[in-house]
Structure 1
Amino acid sequence: MQFTLEVVPLPVSDIDRAKEFYTQRVGWPLDHDVAPAPGVRYVQITPPGSGCSIVLGASTGMTPGTLKGVQLVVADIVAARAELAGRGVDISEVQAVNGDAAALEQGGKALDFVGFAFFDDPDGNTWAIQQISARGEK
């Protein structure tokens, strides 16, 4: 039996503000923004190359800002960080989680599995981006 993770609910306090952050600043495409019934709204966004989407909501059953450490994988952490920073996302510098200064200095494939950068959304939900070049977008 195969199980695929398709959607992660993301607790936010303001759906429109979160939609603008993820689509305009982070640059992820909007899948849909629908209101199937009064007081019910689903905004689904999928990171490029991902099989899993996020659904923004004020009624996820979680307090806004409590989703921590959602992890994305990219082929080039330096380029991914630069792209997000260039879009105005407040993102950390690239870090080597094992403190490997040589990996940071060498860059490239030396950052596989150890190269990370981190950012928060406006509600304080946190994201980690990890370099794994064999799995990340080429």
Structure 2
Amino acid sequence: MVPTVMSMDMKLELVAVPVTDVDRAKDFYVRAGFVADHDHTVSEDVRFVQLTPPGSACSIALGKGLTEMAPGSLDNMQMVVPDADAARADLLERGVEASEVDEQPWGRFVFFADPDGNRWALQELPDWSVGAQTG
């Protein structure tokens, strides 16, 4: 007999971003518009910095002693934005290098990377997408 699995909500709340210099990374993400929620040194070996993109229910964590991933190894973290052109303009205004808007059938994309090379994509959903109406 196969056990019945209860369906439950699972909400992604936090993603560790591997960096070499916590202060430099924190400054970058704050400049990019993320909100600095916490910065706590737990011990000599552990520092926890939590930042949240505006409007997001999921945050990122930078720090010391948080992950074994190599700095810069996070690739293609993706966030949804209502307007790719406006998101790009905002990043550029904040001094963050960003790609031109990349038009694809499945959305419009802007790409950027943090100082360690962790790469991000901002996606404007296409009109036919169910989620486009809620962005």
Q: Name 1:128's counterpart in structure 2.
A: 121
> Could you give the per-residue CA deviations for residues 65-92 of structure 1, whole angstroms, max 9, x where no partner exists?
0000000101111111100011111100
Q: Name 2:39's counterpart in structure 1.
A: 33
TM-score scaled by length of structure 2 = 0.85
Task: List structure 1 segments (4+ residues) > 3 angstroms apart after TM superposition.
Answer: none
The 3-state SS of whatever aligns with 1:20 is helix
The 3-state SS of whatever aligns with 1:81 is helix
Cα RMSD between the aligned structures?
A: 1.2
Offset, 1:58: 4.1
Number of residue pairs matched?
121
Q: Which runs of 5+ in 2 are unaligned?
A: 1-7, 126-131
Distance 1:118 1:13 in 2: 21
TM-score scaled by length of structure 1 = 0.83
1:96/1:115 contact within 8 Å kept: yes
Partner of residue 6 from structure 1, selected from 10, 13, 17 = 13
Larger Rg: 2
1:43 equivalenced with 2:42 (yes/no): no
Identity %: 53
